[in-house]
Amino acid sequence: MTDPIADLLARIKNAWMVRKEKIIVPYSNVKLAILKIFKEKGIVNSIKIKEEGVKKFLIITLNYINNQPPYEDIKRISKPGRRVYVGYKELKPVRQGFGFRVISTSRGIMLDSEAKRKKLGGEVICEVI
């Protein structure tokens, strides 16, 4: 798999389309950091780590509001073929503040609003609208 983060985002979007409650994805620290942000924002209800021998998996319980997903779409911005970096001055609100970006900075993975407040730029991982 060339882009495990895009795989995670695609699994979440596909689960939203069929109103699936739980999904299972292979474990990685980056995915866990992104999912913690999603939990903060109400996309994910719970994250559990399951170990089967040497392999680890993340069991994700998705959140729905009135049987609808909390957001419309998740877009992968920075891809393996084309990385997208922004400075903190270039961070503008997504959909007048109704959406958000997840950014990988030198101080870890965080929301765009938090990165702007700390005056940090970085790689734009995804955008949720």
Residue 116: the pLDDT is 97
**Same domain for 122 and 90:** yes
Tell whether the model's pLDDT for residue 122 goes beyond 90: yes
Q: What is the pLDDT of residues 101-111, one digit of tens each?
A: 999 999 999 99
Q: 119 and 88 in one domain?
A: yes
Give the CATH number for residue 112.
3.30.1490.10
For residues 81 and 47, state if they share a domain: no
Q: Is residue 103, in this structure, part of any structural domain at all?
A: yes
pLDDT confidence band for 121 (50 / 70 / 90): very high
pLDDT at 1: 81
* Statement to judge: residues 58 and 87 lie in one domain: no
Parent domain of 19:
4-62
| Same-domain pairing of 45 and 81 | no
pLDDT at 123 over 90: yes
20 and 52 co-located in one domain: yes
| 60-102 pLDDT, tens digit each | 999 999 999 999 999 999 999 999 999 999 999 999 989 999 9
Nearest to 11 by CA among 66, 59, 82: 59
Buried b / exposed e across 33-68, counting CB within 10 Å, b at 16+?
bbbebbbebebbeeeeeeeeeeeeebebebeeeeee
What's the sign of the alpha-carbon dihedral 6, 9, 61, 122? positive
